[in-house]
Amino acid sequence: MKQNILLFIFIGFCLSFTQIVNAQSIIKDDFLVNDDDGTAHQNYPSISMDAAGNFIIVWRDFRNGNGDIYYQRYNNVGTALEVNKKVNDDTESASQGYTSISMDGAGNYVIVWDDDRYTNYDTDIYYQRYTSTGAALGVNTKVNHDIDSVKQWDPTIAMDITGNYVVVWVDERNGNSDIYLQRFTSTGAALGVNTKVNDDGINADQVSPSISMDALGNFVITWQDFRNSNWDVYYQRYTDTGTGLGTNTKVNDDVNEFQYYPSISMDASGNFIIVWQDFRNANWDIYFQRYTDTGTTLGVNTKVNDDAGSAYQKIPSIYLNIAGDFVIVWMDYRYGQTNPDIIGQRYFSTGNPDGSNYRIVADGPNNGESSPVVCGNNNSIFFSWEDNRRSNDWDIYSKIVGWNWNGVTDVLEEENIIPKNYSLYQNYPNPFNPNTKISWQSPVGSWQTIKLFDVLGRELETIIEGYYEAGSHSTLYTVNSTLPSGVYFYQLKAGNFVQTKKMMYLK
């Protein structure tokens, strides 16, 4: 596994190495999420985070010979908080499929998935609630209320800051595919009944739902819709009480071509952005549309991918932060039509691009990556995707970067000499809130730790811990929001070497 700060390319047996200069914005580089050591297949990742930046990745996992749902908890710098945990509690060999997760402001979370524990094909929608410490609340619970043997699948979930949540899915109870929702309180009590979202009066199909929610619980659902005899993207707005605002509204502004796989993200005030896969240019591109909290369009449908060729771009995911900046990721075939890569694009709150398209995955497209998802906050971006770099069937990988990271391909290289001594440098900026860069160097490869202490010498946190090669290193440290303003000390230990520096945190 690559180190979580810098990528090193060693050339022969020389004592010099190539340093990727912009990698100081990598908080944790590509890392394996699933902890099984076999060749089982893992797919369909979903990701969510709480107000402190702790995050969880959930996926479908075949390590037990059938599809189960597993998840992994992390703190805000990517340190695993426990081992992979299985979600579904059935004891048979049923298969569980598409999955989604959402967290509230305190870190409590709910995972949803489609489940065929009672039939071989006609799946139902289930959820499982958890506390912020990973303790299960109750048992797996069925969401759909129908009693017929029809199929419900492809669920997605959104949660408000206090833990109320809405589950959305594709439902075939009416003989065609519709979009349904179910609202719940923070205690898991259902609010009302399963409710149909699409308002078309014909038997057209609706699939691929996505939902996002603001801080107060107002929410918007988007989906792929065939009511016009070609696939379009529609959305529907709701209040926090589940009251529909207006009617289903078409998103794409062309009339003849197909649009697939919409994804939506909403800020705390209710402004939202929808992104989708679009065929209007006779090949698959990624487009987005911005909206105010009242559903008023901001600008027009905008193309995201900046390649000049006819390569396909597919299955986007979007994250919109509190400041209104956003990032879009997708599968991209511009480097070859056999194995896709994961490409991203950042935007300012004005809708203008921040730089150009950039590659997310350090391993590149040689082994193929797919199904990217993204979340974040005002300081960091968290990615996850399917990856076959180990040639052990598909795994789940993740990466954490700062907003200013320019991507794998937008790098500068410079010659650097291995240092002769250990050294811990002064953090920058200092004072800081909430992030600061900590840098150090080591003359040999060794096990190294940096820990945080208060003025009384009490250990508060481990900032980094692991084996680091000889060279210069850095990490972006994000302070725990519960810490008060004041003076703190960070200390590097490597073998017999110990060095301490003072830092000041100002809220």
Q: How confident is the model at residue 11 (pLDDT cuts 50, 70, 90)?
A: very low
pLDDT for 376 beyond 70: yes
Using a pLDDT cut of 90, give the percent of the chain over it: 67
Model confidence at 293, pLDDT cuts 50, 70, 90, reads: very high
List the one residue out of 462, 416, 342 whose CA is nearest residue 19: 416
What confidence tens digit (pLDDT) does each residue in 381-420 have?
A: 999 999 988 877 789 999 999 998 988 743 333 334 567 7
What confidence tier does 365 reach under pLDDT thresholds 50, 70, 90?
A: low
Whether 430 has a pLDDT exceeding 80, the answer reads: no
Distances in whole angstroms, Cα of residue 500 to Cα of each of 62, 332, 490: 46, 45, 6
Q: What is the pLDDT of residue 367?
A: 67
Tokens of 333: 């075939």
For 168-211, the pLDDT digits (tens) are: 999 999 999 999 999 999 999 999 999 999 999 889 999 999 99
**Would you say 273 and 291 are in contact if contact means Cβ atoms under 8 Å apart?**
yes
pLDDT score, position 101: 98
Least confident of 1-15, 305-319, 366-380, 473-487: 1-15
Closest CA to 129 of 137, 119, 121: 137
Q: For the beta carbon of residue 234, count every other beta carbon within 10 angstroms.
A: 26
First to last CA, the chain: 36
Tell me the pLDDT band of 126, cut-offs 50, 70 and 90. Answer: very high
Task: Return the percentage of the chain with pLDDT > 70, whole number.
Answer: 91
Q: Name the pLDDT band for 229 (thresholds 50, 70, 90).
A: very high
The pLDDT tens digits for 432-469 are 777 777 888 888 889 999 999 998 999 999 999 988 88
* CB-count burial class (<10 Å; 0-12, 13-18, 19+) for 415: exposed
Asked if residues 459 and 453 have their Cβ atoms less than 8 Å apart, the reply is yes
User: pLDDT tens digits, residue range 152-166?
Assistant: 999 999 999 999 999
**In angstroms, what is the C-alpha Rg of the chain?**
23
Q: What is the pLDDT of residue 123?
A: 92
Q: How far apart are CA 135 and CA 335, in angstroms?
A: 43
Short-list 124, 120, 95, CA closest to 112: 124
Highest mean pLDDT among 69-83, 115-129, 358-372: 69-83
Give the pLDDT band of residue 120 (cuts 50, 70, 90). Answer: low
Of residues 19 and 334, more confidently modeled: 334
